[in-house]
Structure 1
Amino acid sequence: MLNQRSLLLALLSCSGLLLSACSSEPNSRQMQQALEQELQQLNNLTTGFLGNEAKLEVLKVEKLSCHNAKPAAGYTCQIAITTKAPLLGESTKQSQVHFVQGENGNWHVLN
């Protein structure tokens, strides 16, 4: 009985390690959603003062590379982000962004 219980606990521990190892870095779509969510907060502030002329829009996010941000949680990713602003038009820039995954599975930008 004790051996079966020990074996069960060992298997459960190993399965937990395997599942945590399976968590992967965010893809471009998930990164864009996280950046749009972050940008929405900024747009709420700026459009309140300046109107829609200040609204910034994320058009495209391309993941260039990611690496585990250990010892911190999440991933630090190099991205190319294309944005559009009413007065400035479209522009694409490369940036390094830290993404973390929330308990609900959604990715967020770590400030």
Structure 2
Amino acid sequence: MQPDHLSTTLSALADPTRRAILARLSRGESSVTELAEPFAMSLPAISKHLKVLERAGLITRSREAQWRPCRLDPGPLREVSEWLEHYSRFWDQSLNRLEDYLQVMKTESGDKPA
């Protein structure tokens, strides 16, 4: 069974190094060397992370002479955000019901003589 696009994106986002790379790319395009600077790992290791991000559609790479810039592609992040929004609404509704219930309990306990 082949994973769906959302699963591929979430899998790519599961690694803190890849999330840090995406954060860096959110400020503009960078070369592999520039992306590797803050990490204590080899260029081939960074390249493996970039391949995962590229397969997930989170980055694009191009060639400009000797420079191979990487760019953030926010499309898959939008899909994750939309998926999470459903759960955000669920939790908001659940917390609102809890707040209503607590308000009823508070009102009822205030009505009873001590």
TM normalised by structure 2 equals 0.27
More strand by share: 1
Q: Which has the larger radius of gyration?
A: 2
TM normalised by structure 1 equals 0.28
RCO higher in 1 or 2 (8 Å CA, sep ≥ 6)?
A: 2
More helix by share: 2
